[in-house]
Amino acid sequence: MMAVIQRIAPQVDRMFICLNEYNEIPAELGQFGNVEAMIPDRDLKDLGKFAFEAGRDDIVFTVDDDILYPSDYVANTLALAGRVGLNGNIVGYQGNAWVYKKRLNTYGWRNFLFFKACAGIIGVTNLGTGTACMLGRHMPTIADLAGSEGFVDFRFSRLQIERGRSLWVLPRNDDYIERNLPENLKASSLFDTVARSGRMDVQQETWRLMNNVPQNSGTPFGD
């Protein structure tokens, strides 16, 4: 967690942190004058990113503690977002586009992993909330997302699409953003324990998203 705070806090006006499963706020957070931390009354998992209220005109970055962000992350993201415009658009670096694959003669996922290169601005069906950027007015409330703990990306993306907004992944080189999850903890990640669990609530949320595949899915911005 501290590695993420040390990288992100200097780049933003305010940084809010949800401390799931903490008993007290670490004293070392006091060195950051713009960091506000809270301990929820239950484990919110990935919903914790949305436990804070943003102003309508704020620019919000949602981040995770298992990702290492570069020192120019905010400035670079804002520059790229300016090409798309944040009014009615949500941008980020991790996503999945449901597309027709000619070689296979079937539909399937085209995946954009945050630590892998991406050549352009591409529309997606599902946008990862660990590397997302949006206007405060487009940020869903924690009430909107209740029940999607562990698979919030699916609910987040569906709500944005239903509300008429487009989702885009941004260009970058390999390892511009780095993974920070120790190998021995990968099996305990939300992706492995929840998203890939086969649970009915996860399947239902995925199906609801699949019923809202946007027209820009897999399409470069401007095409």
In tens digits, the chain (223 residues) has pLDDT values of 999 999 999 999 999 999 999 999 999 999 999 999 999 999 999 999 999 999 999 999 999 999 999 999 999 999 999 999 999 999 999 999 999 888 888 999 999 999 999 999 999 999 999 999 999 999 999 999 999 999 999 999 999 999 999 999 999 999 999 998 766 545 444 454 455 667 788 889 999 999 999 999 999 998 7
Amino acid at 160: Q
Domain limits, the chain: 2-210
Count of residues for the chain?
Answer: 223
- Supply 27's token pair: 């004293």
Please give the Cα distance from 157 to 153 (Å, whole number): 6
pTM here is 0.92
Angstrom distance (rounded) from CA 87 to CA 2: 32
Look at residue 183 in the predicted model and tell me its pLDDT: 61
**pLDDT at position 195, please?**
59
For domain 2-210, is the CATH number 3.40.630.40? no
Cα separation, 110 vs 123, whole angstroms: 11
**Neighbour count for residue 106 (Cβ, 10 Å):** 8
Q: What is the pLDDT of residue 104?
A: 82
